[in-house]
Amino acid sequence: MHADVVKSWFGEQFNNLHPLLQELHVGGGQLSGDVRISFGTGMAGLIGRRLAKKMRFPGPGTHQLRITISHDIDGLFWKRSFNNQTPVTSLFKAVGNIESGYWLESTGPLEMKLTVDVVDGGWYWRCLSVRFLGMPVPKWLMPHTDAYKTIADDLYRFHVEFSLPIIGPLVSYEGLLELEKPQ
């Protein structure tokens, strides 16, 4: 049953996701490819570099990204690794369904309450709230996150960007990833 956690959470809207996203999130898999990491300028760049360090992002430029998606009784696991470094693991626990629920993403001491908007077959995360070490963090203190995955020419386009009002983009990465064939 745990392999169906994504399908169950989306309900009928699961069919609105691109078939490759459906397959990936039901069966799991490993994606890899080049992504471009960039930082804002001035104060935004300084904050972006600090944020990137905490999230184990490498410096600006093109880097190899590998994402492994799997399921178990606890939820949906994402392991993200740049340049074959130690992966950062996020656990996503489904609560309710797309109509009235959310996902809880836990990465170390950070927990985000997220929902998903399905747009043109793509999966667009939307942050509802954030906790750090169990304490609520006012949303205005947290960087805005623009994160989505779509399909382009049978490849998985990933885009993640963090920004702050007034000062703009802090750090982002984007690229096309390919599903690795099982060995």
* Domain boundaries, given as residue ranges, for the chain: 2-179
Give the DSSP per-residue string, the chain: -GGGHHHHHHGGGGGGS-HHHHHHHHH-EEEEEEEEEEE-SHHHHHHHHHHHHHTT---SEEEEEEEEEEEETTEEEEEEEETT-PPEEEEEEEES-TTT-EEEEEETTEEEEEEEEEETTEEEEEEEEEEETTEEE-GGGSPEEEEEEEEETTEEEEEEEEEETTTEEEEEEEEEEEEPPP-
176 contacts 156 by C-beta, under 8 angstroms: yes
pLDDT, tens digit, 9 for 90 and up, residues 135-161: 998 877 788 889 999 999 999 999 999
Of the candidate CATH numbers 2.30.30.140, 2.40.128.20, 3.40.50.720, 3.40.50.11260, the domain formed by 2-179 belongs to 2.40.128.20
Average pLDDT for 91-113:
91
Q: What mean pLDDT comes out for the span 75-99?
A: 93
Which pLDDT belongs to residue 183?
59
The separation between CA 112 and the C-alpha centre of its own chain, rounded to angstroms, equals 11
**Separation CA 59–CA 80 (nearest Å):** 16
More confident: 16 or 181: 16
- Kindly report, residue by residue over 10-20, the tens digit of the pLDDT: 999 999 999 99
At residue 132 the predicted structure's pLDDT band, cuts being 50, 70 and 90, is confident
21 has pLDDT over 70: yes
Q: How confident is residue 1, by pLDDT bands cut at 50, 70 and 90?
A: very low
The predicted pLDDT at position 110 comes to: 82
What's the rounded mean pLDDT across residues 116-120? Answer: 96
